[in-house]
Amino acid sequence: MKAGDLGREYQDGEAIITQGEVGDRMYVVQSGKVEVVRTDGAAEVRLAELKQGDFFGEMALFDKDVRSSTVRAKGTARVLTIDKKMFLRKVHEDPSLAFRIMEKMSRRIRELNEQAGK
Amino acid sequence: MLLDTGSRVAVVGGGPAGSFFTYFLLEMASRMEIELQVDVYEPKTYLQPGPAGCNMCGGIISESLVQYLGAEGIILDSDVVQRGIDSYVMHMDAGTVRIDPPGHEKRIAAVHRGAGPRGQVNHRWASFDKHLLGLAESLGAHVINDRVETIDWVDGRPRVATKKGEGGVYDLLVSAVGVSGGGLKLMESMGIGYQPPETTKTYICEFLLGEEVIEQYFGSSMHVFLLDIPRLEFAAIIPKGEFVTVVMLGEGIDKELVDAFLGSPEVRACFPADWSIPEEHCRCFPSINIKGSPRPYGDRVVFIGDCGENRLYKDGIGGDYRTAKAAAKTAIFEGVSEGAFRKYYGPTCKALATDNSIGKIVFLVTGLIKKLPFARRGMLRMVAGEQRSPGSGKQMSGVLWDTFTGSSSYRSVFQRTMHPLFLGKLVWNIIVALPRRRAIVGQ
């Protein structure tokens, strides 16, 4: 990592979050790429590839369920953690902070609808 | 008094408060399908090294603000951030302790507000203020590089005029001027009864050490000093790219106090043994807001950042973000009348002011601990114990982290210090540390 890099660096293939684990934070990709994969039995399905500025793990901020998928670095990737308590406290004061996340979730639902329709 | 397509907004001051306001105003306006014309008046280009191109400040973006900006989709890259900070080292006469928050993640950004200190030769990093202004421009703001000379009123609307004759009549005037320059006088001359905030002087200087020396001696830690030097409230050394920034808060800071601090053994121990204070180095005595303006709004005018209300001592840029966004939300969704600002923007200022009152108590207690050797040793012992045991609670570490980095509200810090477990542990550590004093005295 360069001296001015923020967040934490993950090496190629390193898991940032793991499917089935309990999560209490979300992440923002600062640089590089990460891939979202879901395991069903022995089969692994690649759901998405995320790049700088993309969020993941945001569902953990709004529900109490376990992580729905694994997110791992694709090449070297750097991500910033956003703490659940800090975020929710701030959203209580300024609900508009959640707007970008809602935008992202809305886009994902649209993509899922399109996939389901195929 | 509502903003609509075609409305004109003047933002006086293109520092973080002005840029955040403009960015959020234009973003919210776009969501509401309102087309606004926003002019940002900023005489600095942020291209000139030294105080002329800098809105003088320590240059720390707090852990909470880095996270808020992340959630807002604003990424701070290493072309602006000179060093990611992941820990801090507390220096006292009783000893030194390093405090690592859980996660060891770099979530505090050390930046230069301007183009860098006087004498800088390597322009590898961009000015933070210029970066934010660029974000506002990317959403369509028009930046006018000129100083506003007069503001008067035409049919109840503010009229702005610059030295070079730019300006016009606006539907909303946003004052985002700092408290160090002549901006406050300009605002007082508007004739709306604006009362400027109470301020105090701080001292900031920059030492060129080079990347290697900084890495070796300071690492990615902010160095905080709690020294029993009369008139000195608090001091920190913040490592940047090739420079370290020294920030001092205190009463009537003068050369004598600066020399006393820089010459103290605790500070000298941080620098290489053969290092001496260079004759020529960039330094300034900027003012900071310590008590906000009592009514930072009026019809078609709002005061944000330092000229309105801000956080006490720490996280000033975080305070800019809060007031700027609250004012932008009010302007878009509630209108630009005094009543709208009082009802929807006022509570944000009031919340900051209330938290600052609690902050004054927190700093009073810190000042007391600083003066009492047994309390200093007890505190140091408690932190050192917490840092040695990874599994234990980190009450004191967390309290100090949030106090010195400005990552949390003063209310939250105060509430945690009132917890019986915290108080019990502190009293225990003070008692256990007492015999050491006798041993030291007896030697």
Answer yes or no: do B75 and A87 touch at CB < 8 A: no
Amino acid B441: pLDDT:
37
Q: What is the mean pLDDT of residues B358-380?
A: 90
- The strand order across the sheet containing B60-61 reads B60-61, B108-110, B83-85
pLDDT digits (tens, 9 = 90+) for A19-41: 999 988 999 999 999 999 999 88
Model confidence at A85: pLDDT above 80: yes
> Rounded to 5 degrees, what are φ and ψ at B247?
-120, 130
Q: Where are the alpha helices (DSSP H) in B226-264?
A: 255-262
CB distance B84–A4 less than 8 Å?
A: yes
Is the CB of residue B11 less than 8 Å from the CB of residue B44?
A: no
User: Is the pLDDT assigned to residue A43 strictly greater than 50?
Assistant: yes
Chain A hits for B81, CB-CB cut-off 8 Å, are: 4-6
In angstroms, the CA B235 to CA B418 distance is 25
Domain ranges of chain B: 8-59+127-197+292-358, 77-118+200-287, 363-442
Q: What is the pLDDT of residues B261-271, one digit of tens each?
A: 999 999 999 99
Contacts of B103 in chain A (CB under 8 A): 8, 81
Give me the pLDDT at residue B438, please.
44
CA distance A26 to chain B (A): 9
Q: B357 by DSSP, 3-state: which?
A: helix
Give per-residue pLDDT as tens, B426-439.
Answer: 999 999 888 654 44
Task: Report the residue of B28, B60, B68, B75 to disrupt the A interface, i.e. the one with the largest count of A CBs within 10 Å.
Answer: B75
The full set of domain ranges for chain A reads 8-117
Stretch B378-404: mean pLDDT: 86
Over 80: is that where the pLDDT of B155 sits? yes
Averaged over B392-408, what is the pLDDT?
Answer: 86
Q: What is the pLDDT of residue B1?
A: 86
Which residue, among B126, B98, B119, has the nearest Cα to B243 in the 3D structure?
B119
Ramachandran angles phi, psi of B387, nearest 5°:
-75, -25
CATH 2.60.40.1730 fits A8-117, yes or no: no
- Name chain B contacts of A81, Cβ cutoff 8 Å: 67, 103, 105, 107
Q: Span B77-118+200-287: which CATH code?
A: 3.30.9
User: How many other β-carbons are positioned within 10 Å of the β-carbon of residue B229?
Assistant: 18
Query: Which positions ≥6 away from B415 have C-beta within 8 Å?
Result: none
- Please determine, for residue B31, whether its predicted confidence score (pLDDT) is greater than 60: yes
Mean pLDDT in residue range A48-68: 91
Contact (Cβ atoms closer than 8 angstroms) between residue A6 and residue B106: yes
Report the range out of A56-65, B17-26, B417-426 with the highest average pLDDT. B17-26
Average of per-residue pLDDT across B83-89: 95
Residues of B in contact with A6 (CB under 8 A): 66, 76, 81, 84, 106-107, 109
Bridge-based pairing of strands B221-225 and B232-239 is antiparallel
Residues of B in contact with A55 (CB under 8 A): 71
For residue A95, what pLDDT is reported? 94
Nearest chain A residue to B74 by CA: give it.
A53
CB-based contact, A109 to chain B, within 8 Å: no
Q: Which of B109-123, B220-234, B287-301 has the lowest mean pLDDT?
A: B109-123
Which of A102-106, A111-115, B333-337 comes out lowest in average pLDDT? A111-115
Average pLDDT along chain B? 92
Fold annotation for B8-59+127-197+292-358: FAD/NAD(P)-binding domain (3.50.50)
- Using CA coordinates, name the residue in chain B closest to A82: B67
Q: For position B440, what pLDDT does the model report?
A: 41
Beta bridge partners of B244: B207, B239
pLDDT digits (tens, 9 = 90+) for B8-28: 999 999 999 999 999 999 999
ipTM above 0.90, yes or no: yes
- Which of the residue ranges A68-77, B223-232, B233-242, B365-374 would you say has the lowest mean pLDDT? B365-374
Q: Is residue B100 scored above 90 in pLDDT? A: no
Distance separating alpha carbons of residues B28 and B30, to the nearest angstrom: 5
Residue B442 has pLDDT above 60, yes or no: no
